[in-house]
Amino acid sequence: MIRHDSNRIDPKRRATIDYKKKQFASPSYKQHDYSHRLNIYQLPPTAEIRLEEFEQWAIDRLRILAELEACTFRNKTPAETADHMRPLLDQWLRLDPNSSSAHGYTDSRLQTQRRKDHYSHFILRLAFSATEESRRRFARVEGALFRLRFQTENVRERQDFVASLTLDWEVVKVDEKRALAQDLLNATPALRKADIEDGSWFKVDFETVPELVEGRRVFVKAGKAYVPSKEQMSIVLAGFHDRMEKGLELTARALPRLDEDDRLSPILDHLSKTFATPDSSLADSDTTLPGAPFTAYSIDHVSQHFPLCMRNLHMTLRKNSHLKHYGRLQYTLFLKGLGLTMEDCLIFWRQSFKLITDDTFNKEYRYNTRHAYGDVGGDAIRRGRGYSPFSCQKILTEHPPGSGESHGCPYRHFSMENLTGLLQATGVHDRDVLRAVKDDVDKKRYHIACNRVFEWAHKAELQVVKGNGTWKATELDTIVHPNTYFKRSYLLKSGLTGDSEQGQDEQTERY
């Protein structure tokens, strides 16, 4: 007779665990020492952080990823990308090497930087694991960030980091290296015979280094690629991408359980939408420009500096002497962001709506303008400030235009034929630019298309400020706000410096 073990779980029955033990079990945390500047994000963080840190760290990392992706779309060289990203990384996601510490190892400052980098990656991994397209895009841009950091890493610290990895490679032995010396020399470009004897070689499956095989930079035999130490980055990047893809798939399976947390779901949903175009709002100090007292009578003149969305609203207003509600709201807040006073804005709208009487204007339209400026309505906190000017992300994702409406983003909401006609009406006739804009729109890179038009229209001025160094790299990053577009255009065309633009995107728009 077989004695039944009461502690053994019957495989034919579902294992039942006391819900009290499951609910109140003590979580096990793994303390991360962050001994290296680089991270392949294999282990998720488990310690507690504040909800404000959860949101702000993710937003800061998203700024970096979006700007890095924009560099790729603009076909910047690796050197140009590194120069462009350096000040942005120092501002939003700084990571200093161990050598920057006075003690030569990770102190509290380095731990704080690397903790933010670690947590922000996994927060965004939660936000972008829902669909295959977002997972693929997130993995691609995270790989670009890792490559950038790997290339700029200190040689010694980079070797220590690689040595700490458990990658699937095999070091080529001396005897095998000597036997294949001539083949390695013939198959590997710019390689000397001394490099074969003195340098270290790694043997990996050829599928893991497709870029080296495609470029005919390695020797392949029996399904194995022989990679020299100078091409070690390709192996590390392949391992990084492999772990990233597997991690994103596991995160996607765990996402349904997050729906129960009402605190995190809105934040993650907002972050996933923001990946299309980073959200940004204007600081209060940037609502005016030096030497530019805008009035109701100067809007027509300065409209040449408007982005296409606001240019379309202005042209429609001048043509029809009317705009529907969301068009008026979008345009009013944009004018407010230029520094136009409420009194001048009311004068502007009254003169523009010339087909109606004063009584009709005062009854149907005056209150909306005052409400946008915070003069009436709203709670006590918002009164006096009103609504913030709409960012590109808000225009792209909220209130799509319907029949007879003119608001929204032309790059997203117009047909290609109508978009081309509008661009040509505003002076964009270059065929290469129009072709590139069409390609951006087809790939849903709407803010890149807008930035492309801006760079074409201000090509000469941008060359001047880049050549003499009067504008910093942070003042020439990707435009993600209509008022930033106007301010940058106005300053460039007026020959002013970009110092007054600094801090333009200091505050991220809350929802």
For residue 112, give both structure tokens: 């704080």
Q: Starting at the earlier edge strand, list the strands of the sheet with 201-205.
A: 170-171, 201-205, 224-228, 219-221
Encode the chain (511 residues) as per-residue pLDDT tens digits.
455 555 555 555 555 555 445 544 555 555 677 888 999 998 888 888 999 999 999 999 998 998 898 888 777 888 888 988 998 899 899 999 888 877 666 788 899 999 999 999 999 999 998 888 889 989 999 999 999 999 888 888 888 888 888 777 777 888 888 888 888 888 777 677 666 666 677 888 888 888 788 888 888 888 888 888 777 788 888 889 888 999 999 888 888 777 666 788 888 887 877 665 555 555 544 555 655 678 999 999 999 999 999 999 999 999 999 999 999 999 999 999 998 999 999 999 999 999 999 999 999 999 999 999 888 876 544 555 778 899 888 899 888 999 889 999 999 999 999 999 999 999 999 999 999 999 999 988 898 999 999 999 999 999 898 888 788 776 788 888 999 999 999 999 887 765 544 434 433 333 2
For residue 175, give both structure tokens: 């005897």
Measured in degrees and rounded to the nearest 5, phi and psi for residue 448 equal -70, -40
**Up-side HSE of residue 18: CA atoms within 13 Å toward CB?**
4
What is the predicted pLDDT for the residue at 475?
A: 77
Q: Which of 326, 309, 322 is nearest to 399 (CA)?
A: 326
Q: Which of 159, 380, 384, 407 is nearest to 307 (CA)?
A: 407
**Up-side HSE of residue 458: CA atoms within 13 Å toward CB?**
27
Task: Tell me the whole-structure pTM to 2 decimals.
Answer: 0.66
* 220 DSSP β-pair partners: 225
CB under 8 Å, gap of 24 or more: what pairs does 69-72 form?
69/137, 69/141, 69/144, 70/447, 70/448, 70/451, 70/478, 72/141, 72/144
Q: How far is CA 151 from CA 30, 33, 34, 157, 363, in A?
A: 29, 23, 19, 12, 63
Q: Which of 78, 74, 396, 124 is nearest to 244 (CA)?
A: 124
**What's the burial of 504, exposed, middle or buried (CB within 10 Å: 0-12/13-18/19+)?**
buried
What is the predicted pLDDT for the residue at 285?
A: 42
For residue 11, give both structure tokens: 């495989």
